[in-house]
């Protein structure tokens, strides 16, 4: 068996293992293939996807950089590098390095909106909110009807406690694309911050109708219900989280806090 055929077999096994969520084994197969042929950009990219799925963002960024160096020098690869650097946060200048990759992605494909979404997030992370707004308007020049741009800017506005403006942005995001992940939940958070609790509750429920098992939304709704004095309903949401993820520390803590508030020391 020649090296190329052996490498292809490793790649086929890696694909199957990836589809089954067996990240460590998929990584091993990909690395064995790359040991036989280290110049395949697609294999480096697949390794990046596998490591990203496993939550190893720093390693994923390295793999995507290898893909970029070996020929996958397109905007999507540059964005993938930046996104994983942002998530890894393994070094003090990670956001600055990520920004250079997002800028490179914009240079490679000036008509791509996605780099601007991440540049908004990166500037917001640096608390440079004025520049985040500049990125929003630059992105709008490319696609004025991009709901993700409004959702990204809303995160910057929420960080500054500009809740009414965040509500407006998230409503626009929802109008343009109602299927955006957690857009209703983020809108609910903004409404809750302005004291509109019942409206927030309804929006959390709308989000859960789209994704009944979303743990973050269940936890957020539970916290809101506690704030509204609806402890029994809050407890139901926290217990639902534990049905999905039995070891969820936030849900355990919230239920313990509820029990203590209600005087149930044994349960607490």
Identify the domain boundary among 87, 112, 137: 112
Both 56 and 96 in a single domain?
A: yes
User: One digit per residue, pLDDT tens: the chain, 268 residues?
Assistant: 578 889 999 999 999 999 999 999 999 999 999 999 999 999 999 999 999 999 999 999 999 999 999 998 899 999 999 999 999 876 657 899 999 999 999 999 999 999 999 999 999 999 999 999 999 999 999 999 999 999 999 999 999 999 999 999 999 999 999 999 999 999 999 999 999 999 999 999 999 999 999 999 999 999 999 999 999 999 999 999 999 999 999 999 999 999 888 776 555 4
**Residue 142 and residue 116 in contact, taking contact as beta carbons nearer than 8 Å:** yes
- Decide if 186 is inside a domain: no
For residue 104, the model assigns a pLDDT of: 97
Q: Both 31 and 105 in a single domain?
A: yes
Which pTM value belongs to this model? 0.86
pLDDT of residue 1: 53
What does the pLDDT read at residue 253? 96
For residues 196 and 191, give the distance between their C-alpha atoms in angstroms, rounded to a whole number.
Answer: 5
Claim to verify: residue 40 and residue 81 sit in the same structural domain: yes
Out of 112, 127, 147, a domain closes at: 112
CATH number of the domain that 50 lies in? 1.25.40.10
Structurally, the chain folds into a number of domains equal to 3
Is residue 76 located within the same domain as residue 157? no
Q: Which domain holds residue 80?
A: 1-112
Residue 188: inside a domain, yes or no? Answer: no
Nearest to 152 by CA among 126, 175, 132, 167: 132
Which of 112, 139, 162 delimits the end of a domain?
112
Residue 268's pLDDT is: 47
**DSSP class of 91:** S
- In this prediction, residue 56 carries a pLDDT of 96
Residues 254 and 153 in one domain: no
For 32, the 3-state DSSP assignment is: helix
- The answer as to whether 13 is a domain residue is yes
Residues 123 and 139 in one domain: yes
Decide if 190 is inside a domain. Answer: no
For position 4, what pLDDT does the model report? 81
Same domain for 100 and 162, yes or no, is no
Whether residue 154 lies inside any domain: the answer is yes
Q: Do 102 and 122 share a domain, yes or no? A: no
């Amino acid at each position: 068996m020649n090296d190329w055929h052996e490498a292809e077999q490793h790649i086929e096994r890696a694909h199957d293992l990836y589809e089954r969520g067996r990240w460590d084994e998929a990584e091993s197969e990909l690395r064995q293939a790359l040991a036989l042929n280290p110049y395949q950009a697609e294999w480096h990219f697949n390794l990046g996807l596998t490591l990203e799925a496993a939550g190893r963002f720093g390693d994923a960024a390295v793999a995507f950089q290898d893909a970029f160096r070996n020929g996958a020098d397109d905007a999507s690869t540059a964005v993938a590098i930046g996104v994983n650097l942002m998530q890894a946060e393994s070094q003090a200048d990670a956001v600055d390095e990520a920004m250079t990759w997002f800028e490179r992605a914009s240079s490679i494909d000036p008509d791509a909106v996605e780099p601007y979404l991440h540049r908004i997030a990166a500037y917001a992370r640096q608390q440079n909110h004025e520049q985040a707004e500049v990125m929003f308007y630059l992105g709008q020049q490319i696609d004025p009807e991009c709901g993700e741009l409004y959702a990204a800017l809303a995160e910057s506005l929420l960080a500054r406690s500009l809740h009414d403006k965040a509500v407006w942005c998230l409503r626009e995001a929802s109008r343009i694309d109602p299927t955006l992940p957690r857009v209703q939940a983020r809108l609910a958070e903004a409404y809750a911050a302005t004291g509109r609790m019942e409206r927030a509750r309804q929006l959390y429920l709308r989000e859960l109708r789209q994704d009944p098992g979303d743990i973050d939304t269940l936890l957020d709704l539970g916290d809101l219900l506690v704030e509204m004095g609806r402890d029994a309903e809050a407890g139901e949401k926290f217990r639902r989280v534990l049905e999905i993820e039995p070891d969820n520390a936030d849900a355990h803590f919230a239920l313990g806090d509820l029990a203590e508030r209600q005087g149930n020391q044994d349960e607490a």
